[in-house]
Structure 1
Amino acid sequence: MSSQNTTIISDFKPKSAFINMIMERGHYYQSSDLEGLDKIALEAEQGKRELVGYIGYDCTAPSLHVGSLTQIMFQRRFQQCGGKPITLMGSGTTRIGDPSFKNEARPVLTLEKIEENKRGIQKVFDKLIDFSDGKALMVDNIEWLEKVSWLEMLSEIGRHFTVNKMISLEIVKRRLDDEIPITFLEFNYMLLQAYDFLELSRRYGCVLQMGGSDQWGNIIQGVELCRRVDNREVFGVTQPLLMNSAGQKMGKTVSGAVWLDGDMLPSFDFWQYWRNVDDADVGKLLRLFTELPLDEIKRLEELQGAEINEAKKILANEITALLHGRDAANSALQAAQAQFTSQGGDASGLPTVELEIDGELSIAALFVKAGLFASNSEAKKAAANNSVSIDDIKISDVTSPAAAIFEGKASVKLSSSKKKHIIVKKK
């Protein structure tokens, strides 16, 4: 099984709109057979065949985060080019836990928690993928995984996997090299993911699995299983993980993950995350997460100095509009502009929290409860560095009672530096 990556395809000229788009937009990293995939994608675009492809999402959290947004956009591009995407909910595989690039086993979740997480995750897909009239499907691998017997899995599927090959895969080899235990439960994850591909191939004619580059080993196992069991040619394609220009994974802030669910992360905070990305990442993120023309993106990423901030605002607006709607994006922009005005500026778009204000609560503790700092000492340090404001007025003493700042007020605006703001309402 060959593997191709961006370092050896510089002279490849795709004929299909799908391969061309994912290359131009920065979604392409590696494929099991790039020329073969390009060929069937072109046939699908010409109406000669149906092209069905899937991405799986385990239900490990109540929402997906920014790292998963790259996968959803991958599916969106696929659909825009005539493909039929399958969103596979991994209720079954979540019970096992994907060991990919993890230093320890995932915590075991209850069936109730997995179902709750699944409901939260599903909400985001309707915003980016068109499921009407069978244009896309959403299925759950629990449909077949809970029905297959242990003996059947061993005799029909397990016999196609060698331990030699499995321990040579990067996701396993790294754990073994670092002498980090990998449980037999985790070791079986790649069998189940490969079996997912086989089932989707049989049920829905799926011939493509897409995913992040960290899933390459699992994807190839599925490609080979479909060939060995059903003698069917299927394909795998991955995209780069979401990294910033410094080589660090994107999608986390001091306050935690950048969730896609507006109930877990207000749209204003989501907007601010993109507004504050590094200058060097603007062009890449515009390609990945917006549908602006490439010529316009090229113009924006070439802006210098203060002008690049306008490109960042456009980036923040476009991504927020995709996830939360154009009204939410405009509201976030207006709230951000209000940060640089006097107290009379409109801050209605800022995130708001309602808190109990008792006599023992200090201002530092209030900032911690509001989520702007992780600890009282961090708040005190920021105040000493002139980075803390209440209602746009700098303060250096955060040890006094918080109740005092609410005298005659129902709410106050707390600010950490010029980037993080929140309205606190008194219960």
Structure 2
Amino acid sequence: MSHVNNLESQHNDPGFANIWQELKWRGLVHVSTDEAELEKLLAGDPITYYCGFDPTAPSLHLGNLVQLLVMRRLQLAGHKPLGLVGGSTGLIGDPRPTAERTLNTKDTVAEWVGYLQAQVRRFLSFEGDNAARMVNNLDWTAPLSAIDFLREIGKHFRVGTMLRKDAVASRLSSEEGISYTEFSYQILQGMDYLQLNRDYGCVLQTGGSDQWGNLTSGTELIRKVDGKSVHALGTPLITNADGTKFGKSEGNAIWLDAHMCSPYAFYQFWLNTADADVVDRLKVFTFLSRAEIEELEKSVAERPFAREGQRKLAYEVTSLVHGVEATEKVIAASAAVFGNGDLSVLDEATLAAATAELPSAKIDAGGLGIIDLLVASGLADSKSAARRTVGEGGAYVNNAKVTDPDAVIGHDELLHGRYLLLRRGKKNLATVEVDA
């Protein structure tokens, strides 16, 4: 996928004493190993750290974006990232709270590894003294026999400790139970950390706080096997102020892949952020400085109707994920759909995304009279109501007012040869697709 992620423009806020202080202010530290040690480590010479992403879907989502931005902030502070896409852990999947995952085929997982690696690459710099590196845990698990795995790794894990991990404990008390396959996931993740510590001197793993059991399985394994002390950082799970789950829209995850969640839908998701959540989102998901965010916080408190915080948030995060050009297109599309711009300049994909939620109708090419169009689209209940709308000056086709009730729309006015955007009054919109 083409991408215009301007890494050069990203900076940490120099107003903080160190990166740890900035992470804390942004609300990105929920749980960690020894905090004083970790702060000292991150304020010193460059260290190598990693975060893992499992290919259990063909795209990363907003929860993963939190981790990618933590990785990027640490890289901007001079540290060296390892992006791990789990070719082996993705074949199993970490235990979910409720039920076993569906196992995907090896070919599917391998294909998804490629997709996720491409996505991770967009958020980190692979150049310079602290260039990021990509790793795949299939490289060191595939050659290992089951006997070697049990002898060399399994013997260091205590079943009692494993049973107490949250993800395992919740599943044990459910009707589903937990298979040995998913139970073993934490051993595999622990082994990843051990391998990366040995190969790259990696001394920090980051992840969501719901992964804490898996993060600490690695720190414990390294302590037991090699006698070394390493670190883990768990970020908070992002939730909305009203208690609903963040990152879900109409029951779907907000994916980072433009084909799975269009830039338009992505932008709208952020634009619809509640006032109570917008400042926290600006801290976590943008590289805006503390001073800039505090200005926006003031605006949200004093002029909530202006929605400056939401518009800045939507612009920044959409630019980060889809590039500035795609974001500008989305903003132009929003304006054009509501009558403040030229619909004809929108490409077909952007137009389709911008009108996806509107009522729509299909008609044949013979029904392009304005009255028929208003009725077919549902904007008027009857032909007489449609005539009244036209007579009162409330009918628009592609943002152009239509005042003649006998007007017939020409084929040259169809957007991309087949679409019309109809509007009644200021806010009632519908689309019509014309069968050629």
**If the length of structure 1 is used for normalisation, what is the TM-score?**
0.79
Match of 2:148 among 149, 152, 155: 152
Q: Which residue of 2 aligns with 1:169?
A: 165
Q: Deviations over 1:336-387 (max 9, x none)?
A: 2223326965671673459xxxxxxxx7787xxxxxxxxxxxxx99999xxx
Which secondary structure does the structure 1 equivalent of 2:339 belong to?
coil
Q: Deviations over 1:257-300 (max 9, x none)?
A: 21111232221221111111111111011111111111111121
Distance 1:111 1:292 in 2: 41
Distance 2:410 2:306 in 1: 37
Q: Which residue of 1 aligns with 2:278?
A: 282
In structure 2, relative to structure 1, the CA distance for the partners of 1:383 and 1:118 (3 Å cut) is farther
Q: Which residue of 1 aligns with 2:420?
A: 412
Q: Which runs of 5+ in 2 are unaligned?
A: 1-15, 354-358, 363-376, 382-394, 400-408
Which secondary structure does the structure 2 equivalent of 1:87 belong to?
strand
Distance 2:297 2:143 in 1: 51
Distance 1:174 1:36 in 2: 32
Q: Which residue of 2 aligns with 1:42?
A: 43
In the TM superposition, what are the counterparts of 1:119-268 in structure 2 within 5 Å? 119-133=114-128, 135-254=131-250, 256-268=252-264
Which secondary structure does the structure 2 equivalent of 1:156 belong to?
helix
Distance 2:238 2:266 in 1: 16
Q: Which residue of 1 aligns with 2:369?
A: none
Distance 1:41 1:21 in 2: 11
Which sits farther off after the overlay, 138-147 or 268-277? 268-277
Are 1:23 and 2:21 matched, yes or no?
A: no
Q: Which residue of 1 aligns with 2:51?
A: 55
In structure 2, relative to structure 1, the CA distance for the partners of 1:24 and 1:243 (3 Å cut) is same
Aligned length: 371
Which secondary structure does the structure 1 equivalent of 2:56 belong to?
coil
In structure 2, relative to structure 1, the CA distance for the partners of 1:95 and 1:296 (3 Å cut) is same
Q: Deviations over 1:196-224 (max 9, x none)?
A: 00000001100001000100011111100
**If the length of structure 2 is used for normalisation, what is the TM-score?**
0.77
Distance 2:331 2:411 in 1: 27
Amino acid at match of 2:279: G
Are 1:351 and 2:359 matched, yes or no?
A: no
Q: Which residue of 2 aligns with 1:316?
A: 314
For the 8 Å contact 1:100–1:215, the answer to whether it is kept is no
Which secondary structure does the structure 2 equivalent of 1:132 belong to?
coil
For the 8 Å contact 2:29–2:236, the answer to whether it is kept is yes
For the 8 Å contact 1:97–1:189, the answer to whether it is kept is yes
Distance 2:379 2:169 in 1: 43
Q: Which residue of 1 aligns with 2:79?
A: 83
Amino acid at match of 1:18: I
In structure 2, relative to structure 1, the CA distance for the partners of 1:137 and 1:342 (3 Å cut) is closer
Which secondary structure does the structure 1 equivalent of 2:307 belong to?
helix
> Deviation at 1:407?
11
Are 1:111 and 2:110 matched, yes or no?
A: no
Which secondary structure does the structure 2 equivalent of 1:201 belong to?
helix
Cα root mean square deviation, aligned: 3.2
Amino acid at match of 1:412: L
